[in-house]
Amino acid sequence: CILFARSRRTSSLSRLSLNLSLTQNAMMRTVAVLILAALAAPSSAFSFTHSTFSLSSTLSRNRAPTARGVGLLTGGVAFGGTPSAGASSRAGRAARMARMVGMSPEEAMSTAIPEIGVRADELIPWLWNVAQYRTDYPECSLKFFADDAVYEDLIYKDPFVGKPAVEAFLRKCKDLAPPDFVFVLDKYSDGAKACGFTWHVELQTRPEAGQFANGASFYELNDEGKICYVRDVVEPPLKTGDLLLRFANFAAKLLN
């Protein structure tokens, strides 16, 4: 009886050990999958929403001409911002306008709208330096999008497919963004049918706040010269360096 009891106890312990081993392996695989899923997720998933237009091929570095700002996402107050609470005098307003980023809505509205079919490296500067400052934004930019346009902003899970979806996205950006939140075009590539560029974010009426987000975008034009594809990527708020590669290496080994 004693031997039988010991045998049953040994058998039970063996099964328990096996179950624990299987559970541990399953947990390790789950952890590995979660790590890889996190690494595959857009690094911009914790950042700001953004922009609107299309881009490129060869990355020959061009400086964005004329105004630095890309555009105000809210069409409202002249010169792009709601005056701060304590600044009600004309002198204070003039001082703010003198140091603001970009151009005023009046300047933007008086700037000629390009024809459909212009080169990508001509369309992008207008979209970013002029269009978003206009009081009729985003309507003024919609004619440059193809009916089947695909817009990927990687802070969102799914792309915006079709012009109605792109329009809704641009309107939402306009409604949700702070009054003086602007995207500043830094450098852009040359390209007839596509263009890539870099940008950053500033506060139009408070440039002393500095640059607080960087990003890159790619726009592609179809045969009609309309934007058919866009991808926006924002830098991650956390600078992890090679830590993500180390995690990826670790996760890959767990899956072996």
Residue 145 has phi, psi (to 5 degrees) of -100, 135
State how far Cα 51 lies from the chain centre: 7
Neighbour-count burial of 3, counting CB atoms closer than 10 A to its CB (0-12 exposed, 13-18 middle, 19+ buried): exposed
- pLDDT at position 52 is 38
- pLDDT at position 71 is 36
- pLDDT at position 38 is 52
Whose structure tokens read 């096996």? 18
pTM: 0.63
Rounded distance between C-alpha atoms, residue 157 and residue 66, angstroms: 35
- pLDDT at position 145 is 98
Rounded distance between C-alpha atoms, residue 20 and residue 255, angstroms: 18
Rounded distance between C-alpha atoms, residue 196 and residue 59, angstroms: 7
- pLDDT at position 172 is 94
Query: What is the DSSP track for 210-248?
Result: ----EEEEEEEE-TTS-EEEEEEEE--SS--TTHHHHHH
- pLDDT at position 15 is 58
Q: Do residues 128 and 101 lie in contact, with contact meaning Cβ atoms separated by under 8 Å? A: no
Q: What is the pLDDT along the chain (256 residues), one digit of tens a residue?
A: 554 444 555 555 555 555 555 555 655 665 554 554 554 444 433 333 333 333 333 333 344 443 333 333 333 222 333 444 444 454 444 444 445 678 899 999 999 999 999 999 999 999 999 998 999 999 999 999 999 999 999 999 999 999 999 999 999 998 998 888 888 999 999 999 999 999 999 888 887 777 878 999 999 999 999 999 999 999 888 888 888 888 888 888 888 7
Q: Do residues 57 and 161 lie in contact, with contact meaning Cβ atoms separated by under 8 Å? A: no
- pLDDT at position 57 is 33
Please name which of 65, 61, 176, 210 lies closest in space to residue 128, comparing C-alpha atoms: 65
State how far Cα 235 lies from the chain centre: 8
Could you tell me the two tokens for 88? 């009600």
- pLDDT at position 9 is 53
- pLDDT at position 86 is 45
In 10 A of CB 103, how many CB atoms? 24
